[in-house]
Structure 1
Amino acid sequence: MTQSAPSALPHEEDQDAKRAALGYVSEAFAEGCLDGIDGDCMAQAALFAAFQELVQTYGEEATARYAEGFPDRIRGGSYTVRPQAQH
């Protein structure tokens, strides 16, 4: 399977689904940490599970191309959590 990543959902529904999925993953991550699993270990396991799913869905080459953009996104702050301004 080497298909691209089409979205079957309209943009707004797709974004809602992604937010919900992130909430589930964040909850699982927090539960693991509360059970004493190191955050770094949880992060590596989450990345492994995510890449395993992407490879299964889109294939190795498409997933590798997708991952090539990570260095720029990481350096650009896409994954940096910034404190929200209080009103």
Structure 2
Amino acid sequence: MEPRRNEIDDMIVHEKMQAALEYQNEAWADGMADGIEPEIIADAAIALAMRETIRVLGEEGAEALLESLRERMVAGEFSPQRNLQ
């Protein structure tokens, strides 16, 4: 049975997300190796992400993304203690 189009699209997005996370982890490690504090790296990453999100989605789209991220944070998705299944 051949995967449906949406399943293929979901797999592509998942693979791109994994690659993007690897790039972010490398940049984070490089910054730490250069002596930049984690909170400064995080602040810079969030600021750049928000600028790009507003450029692409506009302020309303960025606000919706922030709300989604807030809900995911409250649900514990980003917690270091989160158990992946």
TM-score, normalising length: structure 1:
0.78
1:52 CA drift (Å):
0.9
- The secondary structure found in structure 2 opposite 1:59 is helix
Which structure is richer in relative contact order (CA contacts within 8 A, separation 6 or more)?
A: 1
The list of structure 1 runs, each at least 4 consecutive aligned residues, that deviate by more than 2 angstroms after superposition, is 69-72, 81-84
- The secondary structure found in structure 1 opposite 2:80 is coil
Separation in structure 2 between the aligned mates of residue 56 and residue 36 of structure 1, nearest angstrom: 30
Superposed, which structure 2 residues align to 1:1-87 within 5 Å?
10-82=9-81
Separation in structure 2 between the aligned mates of residue 73 and residue 40 of structure 1, nearest angstrom: 20
Count of residues in Structure 1 that have an aligned counterpart in Structure 2: 77
Separation in structure 2 between the aligned mates of residue 70 and residue 16 of structure 1, nearest angstrom: 20
Separation in structure 2 between the aligned mates of residue 83 and residue 10 of structure 1, nearest angstrom: 27
Paired residue for 2:3? none
List gaps (5 residues or longer) in structure 1: 1-8
Separation in structure 1 between the aligned mates of residue 13 and residue 27 of structure 2, nearest angstrom: 21
List gaps (5 residues or longer) in structure 2: 1-7
TM-score, normalising length: structure 2:
0.80
Greater helix fraction, Structure 1 or Structure 2: 2
Identity across matched positions, percent: 29
Q: What is the root-mean-square deviation of aligned Cα atoms in Å?
A: 2.0
Separation in structure 1 between the aligned mates of residue 22 and residue 47 of structure 2, nearest angstrom: 18
